[in-house]
Structure 1
Amino acid sequence: MITYEECLELSDLTADEVDAIAEHEHVTSMIAIALGHYMITHDGEQKIKSIIMDDIDKAEREKNYQHAEMLRKVLKHFIATHPEHHAKKAA
């Protein structure tokens, strides 16, 4: 049986990125890994970025500023580690 950690390692996402997808889509972490991996491998980086930004907006509306700040760090890391979207837009 494959473990959560093995799936996460194969997904090209961090645990925090997976958690943001799971939060936004209201799914389990394992489903979020599969969904996130699919988006990464099918030009969906912009969608993941939008998901994280939506989560930030929701946290701020709920006045959960600590969570919003953590999600900003997740977004910053995602953009830094997945530059493919930005390179494709420039081309």
Structure 2
Amino acid sequence: MLTYQECLDMSGLTEDEIEAIAEHERMDPMIAAALGQYLIVKDDEARIRTIILDDIKKAEKGGNEAHAEALRKVLKHFLATHPDRKD
């Protein structure tokens, strides 16, 4: 059986990026790691970018500026490390 860390390492994403996917999709982080890895392999970085942006908007709407700021940092790192090859 794979550990969470092994799944995280194979996903090509950071733990914060996986947590953003898990939050958005309301799923366990282990499943979110698999989804994130699938999206990277399918060359669908735009979907992950949209997920993180949606999480930021939800945090802002809920008045949780600290969480929104943390997610902005996640987005910034994601964009730097996973440029959309379709653009």
TM-score, normalized by length of structure 2? Answer: 0.97
Code of the aligned partner of 2:39? M
Which residue is equivalent to 1:5? 5
Identity %: 61
1:50 equivalent to 2:50? Answer yes
Cα distance between partner residues in 2 of 1:55 and 1:88: 23
- C-alpha distance after superposition, 1:18-74 (max 9, x if no partner): 000000000000100000000001011000000000000000000000000000000
Cα distance between partner residues in 2 of 1:3 and 1:34: 12
Question: Which structure would you say has the larger Rg?
Answer: 1
Moved over 3 A (4+): none
Code of the aligned partner of 1:55? D
Deviation at 1:17, TM superposition (A): 0.3
Q: CA RMSD in A?
A: 0.7
TM-score, normalized by length of structure 1? Answer: 0.93
Which residue is equivalent to 2:86? 88
1:77 equivalent to 2:77? Answer yes
Which residue is equivalent to 1:39? 39
